Structure 1
Amino acid sequence: MPGMAQIVKRAYKYRFYPIPEQASQLARTFGCVRLCWQSAGSPPPGCARPAAPCGRRCR
């Protein structure tokens, strides 16, 4: 169509090489994130059913 601007999409790949101190901090951070992500989907301990849709926890 005449007069329409064309959108250009670009992608970039980056790679970095952390020093040992940064690598251990990243491993610790991603481990904590994974733990939080996995526990967010599970019901609270001692609960026979998952959380209600409104976010309340069962008692």
Structure 2
Amino acid sequence: MKTPEEQIAELQATNRDLLALVRRSLALIELLRSQNNDLMKHIANLSVDPDGITEEKPTWLN
């Protein structure tokens, strides 16, 4: 059986690992949010003509 000190050390290591995982997850979420915003801006600049062909709107329309 492990001593209380060993158990505490293991829990502290686990907490550090979990905190690092949470930080990486938050960074990934922020990256995805940014990419989503860029994609939504790109989609907003698309138009569909009556023939169903999608093309970029001229920049002067924005």
User: What TM-score does the superposition give when structure 1 sets the normalisation length?
Assistant: 0.44
Larger radius of gyration: 2
* Greater fraction strand: 2
* Greater fraction helix: 2
Higher relative contact order (CA 8 A, sep 6+): 2
User: What TM-score does the superposition give when structure 2 sets the normalisation length?
Assistant: 0.42
